[in-house]
Structure 1
Amino acid sequence: MKKVLTIAGSDCSGGAGIQADIKTITAHKMYAMSAITALTAQNTTGVYGVLEATPEFVANQLDCIFQDIRPDAVKIGMVSNVEIIEVIAMKLREYSAENIVVDPVMVSTSGSKLLNDNANDALTTLLFPLAAVITPNIPEAQCLSGLTIKNKVDMERAADMISDMTKGSVLIKGGHLDESADDLLKAEGKTFWFESPRIENPNTHGTGCTLSSAIACNLALGLNIIESVNKAKEYITGALKAGLSIGKGRGPLNHCFKLQ
């Protein structure tokens, strides 16, 4: 059985963060492990509180995982401060972690800020260079590139700039485009588009967490980045098409749609 580690924040309502990651990994028939960086009090309507773990405790969790059950892939989500980012980077280098997917979680689906201002540089200089792929959405790609992204040409320009921050690939998710939901992958100097129609489902809580975890699962299987993204897109499309409707705000996906 393949093992996948998620390093992220907990979502007590179950739709995003660690909980979405574990559901996604389990749906891929893999063994899920987690190192929790923060507890959040949130639901489909917003984020109402964040309690960060100490860097020492994050390091303790990672030591326990890598010294016993080595992961075949690692997904990194919410890492809200410099100290936690530093200790994660140190431990991943120490254990020569492989197949690292970094989802630069800066803002929640509901619009709540999840990354401290001073953590942006640490994220790009310490974690991005370790990544096999980073998966910003359009607002995050705008923050990283400094560009305004309104169309697919803008996405290509931003991907070129963000590629300089990592030795791996860059996947800019197009869910915020007006006319489509096409994603752009910049890998090995080449551009690949993953086209998909916009699914009329307002319940998108945890889509970024889910997609990045699915990519990590596919990398754990030994698939290349193009195959991994393509299969992850298929999975999240199915989870959206399932049409789950839970909560009073932007609800979660049906991660277990294949089990029905």
Structure 2
Amino acid sequence: MSGNVAPPRVLTVAGSDSGGGAGIQADLKTMLALGVHGMSVIAAVTAQNSLGVQGYWELPPEAVRAQLDSVLGDIGAQAIKTGMLASPVLVEVVAEALGKAGAPVVVDPVGVSKHGDSLLAPEAVDTLRTRLLPVATVVTPNLWEVEQLTGVKVVDESGLREAAEAVLALGPKWALIKGGHLPGEAVDLLYDGVEEHRFPAPRLDNRHTHGTGCTLASAIASHLALGHAVPEAVARAKSYVTGAIARGFPLGAGIGPVDHAWSWRAS
């Protein structure tokens, strides 16, 4: 009989990216790179490539619920990450299951793709606010998603704290406000209402950044499953993503993906 021990387990609940750069595919690549066992619940399927999202189709709620019950009922998870959930009913189904899961939850409140294509129905935004964010351990909005969720518009680094406070008012334990779209150095702010941590990174001259948000949230979940506290998990995830962005590569005729295997290639 084998004496091998299973690695920590992380579940992603998100959409499938047919181009392989974001969504479920990016999540599982990140989890493998960081040494955890990745599992997936597919909430939607996209037709997507380097040029954009040509279409998406939600899975029926019963299919999403069955996947959640199957994985959590037998295997369990030491951390969970959510991404594209598409509709109010899917947000409801996922929020209900994760509220009972007993594992830290990292919510990437996906609203639009890297190319500006909508991935969340407008009527689902309020459900995301009221049902999913209150069960989140960490929520990781970019500045557009902060404005969509709270109405707060950030124009420079001084506005990150106000944005974090507005997101925390919706119920998560921690808010990680991603400042990558601001001019100058890329600074992310992590805040729980008491502790504040800033994570600066150099702005890299590389347009191939598809999947950055999915990768960061999955990396945070992976490090939480590995036993790190939230600030350390975010610091390690930020370092991993910065390396992945630096080595992002061209693919197709548009924006290529970050390199999830960069640490392997560098060793």
Aligned to 1:11: 17
User: Per-residue deviation at 1:124?
Assistant: 1.0
C-alpha root-mean-square deviation of aligned residues, in Å? Answer: 1.0
TM superposition score normalised by structure 2: 0.95
Structure 1 position 187, deviation (Å):
2.0
Question: Scaled by the length of structure 1, what TM-score is found?
Answer: 0.97
CA distance in 1, matches of 2:153, 2:169: 18
TM-superposed CA distance for 1:222, in Å, is 1.5
2:38 equivalent to 1:32: yes
User: For 2:126, which of 121, 130, 134 is the aligned residue?
Assistant: 121
Residue 192 of structure 1, CA deviation: 1.5
Distance change (3 Å), C-alpha of 1:241 and 1:167: closer
Show CA shifts across 1:185-239 (max 9, x none): 1124232111111011101100000000000001111111110100001000111
Distance 1:167 1:161 in 2: 11
| Alpha-carbon distance between aligned partners in 1 of 2:194 and 2:87, rounded to the nearest angstrom | 31
1:25/1:31 contact within 8 Å kept: yes
- In structure 1, stretches of 5+ residues that fail to align are none
Deviations 1:152-204 (Å, cap 9, x if unpaired)? 11221111111111241000111101112110111242321111110111011
How far, CA to CA, are the matches of 1:10 and 1:97 in structure 2? Answer: 25
Q: Please, which of 67, 87, 96 is the counterpart of residue 90 of structure 1?
A: 96
Alpha-carbon distance between aligned partners in 2 of 1:116 and 1:40, rounded to the nearest angstrom: 14
Contact 1:74 1:97 in 2 (8 A): no
Mapped to 1, the partners of 2:222 and 2:147 lie a distance apart of: 27
The one-letter code matched in structure 1 to 2:244 is A
Deviation at 1:248?
A: 1.2
Q: Which residue of 2 aligns with 1:75?
A: 81
Give the Cα–Cα distance (whole angstroms) in 2 for the partners of residues 90 and 158 of structure 1: 26
Name the aligned partner's letter for residue 174 of structure 1.
G
Give aligned-pair identity as a percent: 45
Q: Does 1:20 align with 2:26?
A: yes
Q: Distance in 2 between matches of 1:22 and 1:243?
A: 17
Residue of structure 2 in register with 1:150 after alignment: 155
Structure 2 unaligned segments of length 5 or more: list them. Answer: 1-6
